[in-house]
Chain A
Amino acid sequence: MKNLIKLIMIATTGLVMSNASVVAQSKPLRIEINQGVIEPMPIAAPKFVAKGNGSQEYAKQITSVIVSDLAGSGLFREIPASAHISDINNFDAPVQFADWKAINAQALITGSVKVSGDNLTVQFRLFDVFAQSALGDGLQFQASKGNWRRMAHKVADAIYARLTGESAYFDSRVVYISEEGPKNARRKRLAIMDYDGANSRFLTDDNDIVLAPRFSPNNKEIVYTSYKSGSPKVYLMNVDTLKQRLLDEQPGMTFAPRFSPDGSHVVMSLTEGGNTDIYMVKLKNGAKTRLTSGTSIETAPSFSPDGQQIVFESDRGGKQQIYVMPTSGGTAKRISFGKGSYGTPVWSPRGDMIAFTKISKGRFHIGVMRVDGSNERLLTASFLDEGPTWSPNGRVIMFFRETAGASGAPAIYSVDVTGRNLKRVKTPSFGSDPAWSGLLK
């Protein structure tokens, strides 16, 4: 897939109205997202200017995706077009800041969309309305028309980064399990979609149970568990060619795989004689190293972003709890101490937190704690919330929620690490086991 999106900077100087005195700002316009934003920043994003034939619909859709990304983050609030005093009809004309200030827009996004043949060019600029100045240079993205959604996500990523000072997560994908059929005979298929649920497509048919896919660091491969051979086994798949292979040919059931941050190894659980332990497999030669031993259950391993440590769950103390050990194996330290059981730990891409599933008093929670186990915070609660996965910037967590009863079924949700902005991610059928990719290149 040649999904190259070309990016160039476009000049902004001279665009700011010459007769307006530019207010010197001590600080750039910025939204602080550490404490959990209570009041989203009001932004205006008038429909991008369509340049030439066939650009109208793209301009409309691209603007709509950008707004949906930004507003969906919970950090921004769109001021609807109906409230706008003026339009942007010329991308290169000076901005009438007073018109945007009057409707209380703090940031203004302007843009243009041009179709030429199979190619699409998207330009945008970001303004601090109250300072009456541009925030960074204008940017231009070029790609084939089929990539229009990704280009919109890239624009939104750039705006998010400028307004928060942090990297974003919109141009990313989620691999998940699509589910259909009754609860006692679910048909499961591997599927992949954009982070917002768009462009969902299947990677497998529904002949075999498939579980818990995870992306490789370069987002091109996934590891997952399939019952293709009659019992659970870990497979690797290229998401573009759909070519798959069994990871470990030796006997034993294998599941709960995850790539190392450098992509060279896969860590997973292997069950032999009823005992489940954690093993590391070197992808180059298939060499397998055992990392845990004993009769307890050790599973759900996840690497620290520096590759030095592995967080996992074990019932060695009598109940499911979370432990951290060196990547070479050896002594593990328990980090979860609250009441209840803890499972499915996942290390944040920022390295600062562990997300987990907690089961307490018959309820399931998604929670986060520091890597030493302190500052535990529960973000959700329901009959069954399970399987957290981090956004590329470590600010959002996706998971699945299953409803109770005979007609109970799973759906994918996301929540900010602050506990705010809980919302459903729409999938064509039931969805479970989401795994977020890194930012696409």
Chain B
Amino acid sequence: MTSMKLTLAAIALIGLSACDSNSSMGGLGKNGGGSGNGGISQSALDPASIAYFNETIGDTVLFLVDQSTLTPEATALLDRQAAWLLDNPQNSVTIEGHADEQGTREYNLALGARRAASVQNYLVSRGLTDARIRTVTFGKERPLAVCSDEACWSKNRRSVTLVTGGLGS
């Protein structure tokens, strides 16, 4: 499983380089572009794939303690998510809202819902239709990182945009 992920990540990196016309690996890029031998990496490289969305664009937005307002980093990432979703109208998304463990269960459910709605509202403001976006809160039920300090808590205060439908689903 881990090695599989690593492979995908590596392919995604190559994909990025290949897209970059100013890449110092121009020769390789040219070769890659001309040969069309994408048999191995085709699905991961495909910019319309969910793997591309998850790993190249990024599915996770982070929040400050007890906050649901979007940071500049968050809006920059959501701009890219919105652009991808506008390019791939066949896909829908579920936005998961999460909280860290430093709160009570009910409050964290409500906070997770606020975070998910924040992301939803932003994507809608970028031209996505409401109908393509579903939100769900997990409160503190599904932490990503399991330590009990800020290093982990900052990773758990998040929203995750899950793409469904369309290519590679």
Q: List residues of chain A with CB under 8 Å of any chain B CB.
A: 182-186, 209, 211-212, 230-232, 253, 255-256, 269, 271, 273-276, 297, 299-300, 313, 315, 320, 343-344, 357, 359, 362, 383-384, 386-387, 402, 404-406, 408, 433
Check A183/B146 contact, CB under 8 A, given A269-B110, A297-B114: yes
Check A269/B106 contact, CB under 8 A, given A184-B144, A404-B148: yes
The residue on A at minimum CB distance from B121 is: A274
Cβ-defined contact, B148 with A383, below 8 A: yes
Within 8 Å by CB of B136, from A182, A253, A273, A357, lies A253
Q: Could you list 11 examples of A-B contacts with CB < 8 Å? A: A184-B145, A211-B141, A232-B136, A253-B136, A256-B109, A274-B114, A299-B106, A300-B104, A300-B106, A359-B103, A387-B105
Cβ-defined contact, A344 with B146, below 8 A: no
Min CB–CB distance A364 → chain B (angstroms): 8
Check A274/B107 contact, CB under 8 A, given A184-B142, A253-B113, A359-B102: no
**A435–B143 alpha-carbon span in the complex (Å):** 24
**A373–B1 alpha-carbon span in the complex (Å):** 54
Instruction: Find chain B residues with CB under 8 A from A184 CB.
Output: 142-146
Check A386/B105 contact, CB under 8 A, given A253-B113, A253-B137, A299-B110: yes
Cβ-defined contact, A344 with B116, below 8 A: no
Check A274/B113 contact, CB under 8 A, given A184-B146, A231-B136, A253-B137: yes
Min CB–CB distance A324 → chain B (angstroms): 17
Min CB–CB distance A359 → chain B (angstroms): 7
**A209–B144 alpha-carbon span in the complex (Å):** 16
Instruction: Find chain A residues with CB under 8 A from B137 CB.
Output: 231-232, 253, 271
The 5 closest A-B pairs by CB, nearest first: A274-B117, A404-B148, A276-B110, A343-B104, A297-B110
Cβ < 8 Å to A, chain B residues 95-147: 101-107, 109-111, 113-118, 120-121, 135-138, 141-147
Question: Beyond A253-B137, A343-B103: 14 further Cβ-contacts under 8 Å?
Answer: A212-B105, A231-B136, A231-B137, A256-B109, A274-B120, A297-B107, A297-B111, A300-B106, A343-B107, A344-B105, A357-B104, A359-B104, A386-B104, A387-B105
Q: List residues of chain B with CB under 8 Å of any chain A CB.
A: 68, 101-107, 109-111, 113-118, 120-121, 135-138, 141-148
The residue on B at minimum CB distance from A344 is: B104
The residue on A at minimum CB distance from B96 is: A231
Check A384/B105 contact, CB under 8 A, given A184-B142, A184-B143, A299-B110: no
Cβ-defined contact, B104 with A276, below 8 A: no
Cβ-defined contact, B101 with A406, below 8 A: no
**A241–B146 alpha-carbon span in the complex (Å):** 37
Instruction: Find chain A residues with CB under 8 A from B136 CB.
Output: 230-232, 253
Min CB–CB distance A113 → chain B (angstroms): 43
Cβ-defined contact, A408 with B107, below 8 A: no
Instruction: Find chain B residues with CB under 8 A from A256 CB.
Output: 106, 109
**A433–B138 alpha-carbon span in the complex (Å):** 16
**A268–B116 alpha-carbon span in the complex (Å):** 20
Check A433/B105 contact, CB under 8 A, given A230-B136, A276-B110, A297-B111: yes
